[in-house]
Amino acid sequence: MNDPTASPIVLFDGVCNVCSSAVQFIIRRDPAGRFRFASLQSEAGRELLLRHGLPADRIDTIVLIENGRSYTRSTAILRVVRGLKGAWPLLYGGIIIPRPLRDGLYRWFAANRYRWFGQRESCMLPTPDIRRRFLE
């Protein structure tokens, strides 16, 4: 895969336990390997944030880069589940809920995630079999 931006890219907080679990969840439900990943703390993650006009120190949201556009918070999550195997795409129907309501819930959860689920000392290290899906 020559152009890493040709596939949808999920940027995630690499030290967040919930975020790292979410990446594993996506990987298991994306057997075709459509989604690529980078932690927000990585050089690739910071570069993509800046390229899309987002602050490089932003770690309070998941970001989806897809077809040259960036999506954050609840919209990013809904667009990701739309691309997963199984019944998960049905959750995309939640897009009809007004974004301020969806994002308000997202912000509340994000503000409490470290307290509720903890965080890692360092970013998640992908196993060799999925390493190709992570941007360097």
In this predicted model, what pLDDT tens digit does every residue of 54-94 receive, in sequence order?
Answer: 998 867 889 999 999 999 999 999 999 999 999 999 999 99
Domain that holds residue 29: 9-132
Instruction: Give the C-alpha separation, 67 to 72, whole Å.
Output: 14
Beta strand 9-12 pairing with 36-39: parallel
Is residue 123 pLDDT above 70, yes or no?
no
- What's the chain's average pLDDT? 87
Position 115 in a domain: yes
Position 1 in a domain: no
Is residue 7 pLDDT above 50, yes or no?
yes
Position 3 in a domain: no
Q: Which residue has the higher pLDDT, 11 or 1?
A: 11
Place 1 in a pLDDT band, splitting at 50, 70 and 90: very low
Q: Which residue has the higher pLDDT, 31 or 58?
A: 31
Measured in degrees and rounded to the nearest 5, phi and psi for residue 122 equal -145, 170
Confidence at residue 17, expressed as pLDDT on a 0 to 100 scale: 82
Position 52 in a domain: yes
Instruction: Name the percent of the chain in helix, strand, coil, to the closest 5.
Output: 50, 15, 40
Q: Which of 17, 16, 22, 37 is CA-nearest to residue 88?
A: 22
Instruction: Give the C-alpha separation, 95 to 46, whole Å.
Output: 27
User: Mean pLDDT, to the nearest integer, of 1-19?
Assistant: 77
Lowest mean pLDDT segment, chosen from 12-21, 81-90, 111-120: 111-120
Single-letter amino acid code for the residue at 46: R
Instruction: Give the C-alpha separation, 59 to 39, whole Å.
Output: 9
The total of structural domains in the chain comes to 1
Is the separation of the CB atoms in 29 and 86 below 8 Å? Answer: yes
pTM, whole model, 2 decimals? 0.87
